[in-house]
Chain A
Amino acid sequence: MKVLDGTVDITKKVYDEEVIAARVKELGARITADYKGKELIVIGVIKGSVYFFSDLTRAIDLPIKIDMIGFGNIPDTTSRTGVVKITKDIDIDISGKHVLVVEDVIRTGLTTAYLIQNLEAKCPADIEIATMLLNPDRLLMTIPVKYYGFEISDSWLLGYGLDSNEVGRNLPFIAQLEKKS
């Protein structure tokens, strides 16, 4: 596969472009119906959600506002493991507004829980989650996942925003990896 150029070994395609597009369209229609007449701000999580976020927001037929949020592990003098900090905060005021956070994949839900905690401090009306992929068996945190594209198991996946050491995000489909490199 030219896009990977031998950097990563793919076992099989799990969801191809047509399947993803159809599912995103369905989710967009549901979100459009659920938020009709409401002020909705859709926030994409950098970097994994970039393609899903881009397709999903265009499938929502409402005058939404969009923003993006990024976070990372920052070294900290008081902790050996460092701390998780927002590296790119949202620019739009979300107080009193409906917020939909868009993720690429949710496994344990710890990072999503972290984001929700941070966004809640900005006093939105409510926060819901949309994720392309969800592993319900691994979900530890009680987080409000309202919309998801596909349920997944423990396999390592790549493409449509998901990476392996930063490679493979730009694959237009979702594929299973031989094993995480």
Chain B
Amino acid sequence: MAIITISRQNGSLGDELAQYLAGKLSCDIISRAYAMEHFFGGESEKLSDSARFFLTEVPGRPGVTYKDLLTEKIIKEADSSGKLIVLGLGGCAMLEDREDTVNIRVLASLDTRRKRIARRYNISEEEAESTIMVGDRKHKRFVSILFEQDLASPELYDLTLNTDDISVEECAAAVLALLEKKNERLKITSQTRSDESIDHQTVTPVFKNETEEEFAKILDMYGIEWMYEPKTFPIEWDAEGNIKMAFSPDFYLPKFNLYLELTTMDQKYVTKKNKKARMVMELYPGTNVRIVYKKDFQELIERLKQFGG
């Protein structure tokens, strides 16, 4: 599940980025033109002319404004298709409560945008600047009236891209990488809600020892995505329901839905870890935990020196 909202300055290549991402993700783009044609029918002219008209009630639906209708339609499309790009329309403000949204702001320097617009429409740079100013003002006004938010406020966005020196393809690669990471994180967060495990994903990895650091390097070498101690699984409770024992596996490999716990220690600790791993798998069905033993680790380190099957 993913919704990408793209807010863009005129001439910033935001539209081109939306098109490129839609091709990559095989999904639809909800733009102003799309919304007017598919959501509002007869009222589209009034809505196009005046942002304030969005705050008036939809005939036959007391208490529901055109703004509410726009939000409702976009959420419905997102829920039915599973992925969607919202281009403009104040998407980031509209969907700010949804955690499955990645909010992107695309901008560029005035000089770059002026040149792009002048070239695209075959007009002078002065005319291009005036077009840009009018467009930017309209966008700002729309978001301010509908959502009482400042479009230029950086807090609204997860990622801001300046296209002065990076291409549409490079921007798309950044957005897709962020989207993938966020989806992995959401998967764990949603599991945490449905069971009693504890989510630690906002913590920056601080490895407890060199072994963990080396292991992370091995995973990086193979291009295998990992998260460090993303979750704690309570495994024993006292009579009052307080947690008595918990287990936080060292690594999670989202692609393989697999938790790995490293051990380079004494056999007695290994036995304890094995027991904890077994308990996690019993108490949290669908959770895979494997122990990486000293010999596994040594063999992997060996591979770094002499690479082989």
Contact = CB atoms under 8 A, between A and B. Distances in A.
Interface of A: 45, 48-49, 72-73, 79-84, 103-105, 107-108, 110-111, 113-114, 117, 138-143, 154, 162-163, 165
Interface residues of B, number: 25
Nearest to A131: B309
Given A79-B220, A117-B224, A103 B296 contact: no
Interface string B21-42: 0000000000000000000000
A81 B217 contact: yes
Contacts of B296: 108, 138, 140
B307 A140 contact: no
B224 A73 contact: no
Contacts of B256: 113, 141-143
Nearest to B288: A142
9 contacts: A73-B304, A84-B221, A110-B300, A113-B224, A114-B222, A117-B224, A142-B256, A142-B288, A162-B309
Contacts of B288: 142
B224 A114 contact: yes
B309 A104 contact: yes
Nearest to B307: A73
Given A108-B300, A113-B256, A141-B256, A83 B309 contact: no
B308 interface: yes
Contact of A111 (B217, B260, B295, B309): B309
B309 A45 contact: yes
Nearest to A118: B223
A113 B222 contact: yes
A52 to B, nearest CB: 11
Contacts of A142: 256-258, 288
Contact of A72 (B299, B304, B307): B307
Interface string B244-267: 000000000101111010000000
A73 B258 CA distance: 24
Interface in B199-237: 217-218, 220-224
Q: Which of A48, A141, A154 has the most CB of B within 10 A?
A: A141
A121 B222 CA distance: 15
B290 interface: yes
Contacts of A113: 222, 224, 255-256
Contact of B223 (A48, A117, A140): A117
Contacts of B290: 139-140
Given A113-B256, A140-B292, A141-B258, A73 B299 contact: no
A107 B303 CA distance: 12
A108 B262 CA distance: 13
Contacts of A141: 253, 256, 258
Interface of B: 217-218, 220-224, 253, 255-258, 260, 288, 290, 292, 295-296, 299-300, 304, 306-309
B221 A79 contact: yes
Sorted from nearest, which 5 A-B pairs have the closest CB atoms?
Answer: A73-B307, A48-B309, A114-B222, A142-B256, A81-B221
Contact of A82 (B221, B257, B260, B299): B221
A117 B292 contact: no
Given A84-B222, A111-B309, A114-B224, 14 more contacts: A48-B309, A73-B304, A79-B221, A82-B221, A82-B304, A83-B221, A84-B221, A113-B224, A117-B223, A117-B224, A139-B290, A140-B260, A140-B290, A141-B258
A23 B292 CA distance: 31
A104 to B, nearest CB: 6
B176 to A, nearest CB: 12
A110 B224 contact: yes
Contacts of B257: 142
Nearest to A165: B306
Nearest to B253: A141
Contacts of A114: 222-224
A114 B253 CA distance: 12
B278 to A, nearest CB: 16
B223 A108 contact: no
B308 to A, nearest CB: 7
B218 A154 contact: no
Contacts of B222: 84, 110-111, 113-114
A114 B257 CA distance: 15
A31 to B, nearest CB: 21
Contacts of A73: 221, 304, 307
Contacts of A117: 223-224, 255
Contact of B304 (A48, A81, A111, A140): A81
